[in-house]
Structure 1
C-alpha cells in the first residue's frame, strides 16, 4: 500500500496542495457548466436545470417514478424533491398520483407539456454542451473526461449515505 501523501500543515501548503486544487477545479468547472447549461435550458424551455433532470428521469420511466427514486437520482432530500415536484406540478410539467400497487407511494409522471419542455431543453443543452466541450477539448479528450467523471461519480455515489 503506498504511503499517504503528506497533509498540509500551513495555510500556504493547503492552498498549494494539488489534491485540493484538483477538486476545486472540478467544482468550479461544474458550477460554470451548470450556469451556462442552466441558462440555455431556461431560455429555450423556461425550466430550471433541476426540472430538466427530473424530466430526463421520467422519460426513462413512462409508467411513473416513485418520489423516493427521484430524490435519490437527484441527490436531494425528500423535502427538496417534494418542493421541486410541487413546482413542476404547478407548472403542469408533471402529475403526481398514488401508486396502484402501494397507495403510500407517490408516482410522478411527465405530462405532454413536460415532454415538449424536455425536448426543447435537450436541444439547447446539447447545443451548448457541444459548443463548450468541443471549444476546449478534442473528441478523444471529451470521451476520456466523460468516462473518468462517470467512474468518479459512481464511486462517490457508493460512498454517499442516504439523504433524509
Structure 2
C-alpha cells in the first residue's frame, strides 16, 4: 500500500517524518558530495561538475550539444559554458559548431579527457562504495534505487533548466 502525503498548498510546515527524511537526505548528499569533490580534486584536479561532463561525454554515442550536457548535469548554461571552457583549455574536450544547427555547439571528449576519467574513476567508485553502498543491503539498494528514480522522474517532469527563458537585460543585445 502506498502512503502518500497531501501537498501543502497553503505553505504549511512539513510533518516531522517529512522534515526528518528531508534533512537526512540533504546531509547524506552533502557528506557524499564533499568526499567525492575531495577525491576528484586530489586525484584529477577537477570538480564534480567537470567529472560529470567528462563521464557523460565518455558514455555518449558520439558528441553531445551544450544543451544536452546542461540538461543532463542540471547546470546553468552560463556555468556549463565556463566549465567547458576550462576543460577545453586543459585539452580534455573539444567544442565546435553543429553542422545541422548553427545555434548549437557540439562537445566531444578527447583522449586526454578519457585518460583523466580512467585515472579518477577507481577512487570515485571507492568513495561511492565506502560511503553510500557499503551500509546498504541488496534490498535497501533496490528500494533506494526505486525511490530515488521515482523522485528524480517527478522532478524531471518539469521543463529542463536549459529550456527556461533567459532573463533579458534592458539595453543593447549581445551578438
Q: Which residue pairs with 1:66 in the alignment?
A: 65
The correspondence of residues 43-122 of structure 1 with structure 2, limited to 5 A, is 43-122=42-121
Query: What is the deviation of 1:137?
Result: 1.7
1:61 to partner: Cα distance: 2.2
- Point out where structure 1 has 5 or more consecutive residues left out of the alignment: none
Query: Is the Cα–Cα contact under 8 Å of residues 62 and 110 in structure 1 kept in the other structure?
Result: no
- Report the Cα distance in structure 1 between the residues aligned to 2:114 and 2:68, rounded to whole angstroms: 19
Deviations 1:62-84 (A, max 9, x none): 52110011111111121111111
1:161 CA displacement: 5.4
Give the SS at the match of 1:63. coil
RMSD between aligned residues: 2.4
Is 2:128 the partner of 1:129?
Answer: yes
More off after superposition, 135-144 vs 29-38: 135-144
With over 3 angstroms needed to count, the CA separation of the structure-2 counterparts of 1:39 and 1:159, relative to structure 1, is same
Distance 1:29 1:136, change over 3 A: same
In structure 2, do the counterparts of structure 1 residues 96 and 41 end up closer, same or farther at CA, with 3 Å as the change threshold?
Answer: same
SS of the residue 1:101 aligns to: coil
Number of residue pairs matched by the alignment: 159
Gaps of 5+ in 2: 165-175
Contact 1:95 1:111 (C-alpha < 8 Å) held by counterparts: yes
Answer 1 or 2: which has greater helix percent: 1
Instruction: Give CA deviations for 1:131-155 in whole Å, capped at 9, x if unaligned.
Output: 1234422232123212321221111
Partner of 1:108, secondary structure, is strand
Check the 8 A contact 1:40/1:125 in 2, yes or no. yes
